[in-house]
Amino acid sequence: MTRRTLLLASFATPALAAAASPRIRVAQLGTEHAHASGKMQALRSLTDLYEVVGVAGKQENSAAYAGLPWLDEQDLLHDKNLPLLAIETRIEDSCGKALKALRAGKNIHLDKPGALAHAEFLAMRREAERLGLTVQMGYMLRYNPAFQLLFQATREGWLGDILEIDASIGKLADIGTRKNIAALAGGGMFELACHVIDAAVTLLGKPRTVHAISTPTRDDGVKDNQLAVLEYAHATATIRCNHSDPFGGPHRRFAVVGTQGAMEIVPLESGRATLTLSRALGGYKKGTQTLELQVPKGRYDEEFIDFAKVLRGEKKLAWDASHDITVHETVLRAAGIWQS
Neighbours of 185 (CB within 10 A): 13
**Tens digits of residue pLDDT in 49-90:** 999 999 999 998 899 999 999 999 999 999 999 999 999 999
Query: Is 8's pLDDT higher than 60?
Result: no
**Tens digits of residue pLDDT in 198-253:** 999 999 999 999 999 999 999 988 999 999 999 999 999 999 999 999 999 999 99
Q: What gap in Å lies between CA 222 and CA 224, rounded to an integer?
A: 6
- In this structure, are residues 303 and 288 in contact, taking their beta carbons and an 8 Å threshold? no
- In this structure, are residues 334 and 189 in contact, taking their beta carbons and an 8 Å threshold? yes
Q: What gap in Å lies between CA 241 and CA 229, rounded to an integer?
A: 12
Residue 21 banded pLDDT, cuts 50, 70, 90: low
Angle at 124 between CA 187 and CA 198, to 5 degrees: 45
- In this structure, are residues 142 and 300 in contact, taking their beta carbons and an 8 Å threshold? no
Q: What gap in Å lies between CA 163 and CA 233, rounded to an integer?
A: 10
Q: What gap in Å lies between CA 214 and CA 176, rounded to an integer?
A: 20
| Spatial CB neighbours of 110, under 8 Å, sequence gap ≥ 6 | 87, 94, 95, 98, 135, 136, 137, 138
| Spatial CB neighbours of 196, under 8 Å, sequence gap ≥ 6 | 141, 167, 168, 169, 239, 254, 268
Q: Is 334 exposed, middle or buried (0-12, 13-18, 19+ CB in 10 A)?
A: buried
Q: What gap in Å lies between CA 207 and CA 104, rounded to an integer?
A: 35
Q: Once rounded to an integer, what is the mean pLDDT over residues 174-184? A: 93
Q: What is the pTM of this model?
A: 0.92
End-to-end CA distance of the chain: 31
Looking at 7-16, 154-163, 284-293, which range is the least confident one?
7-16
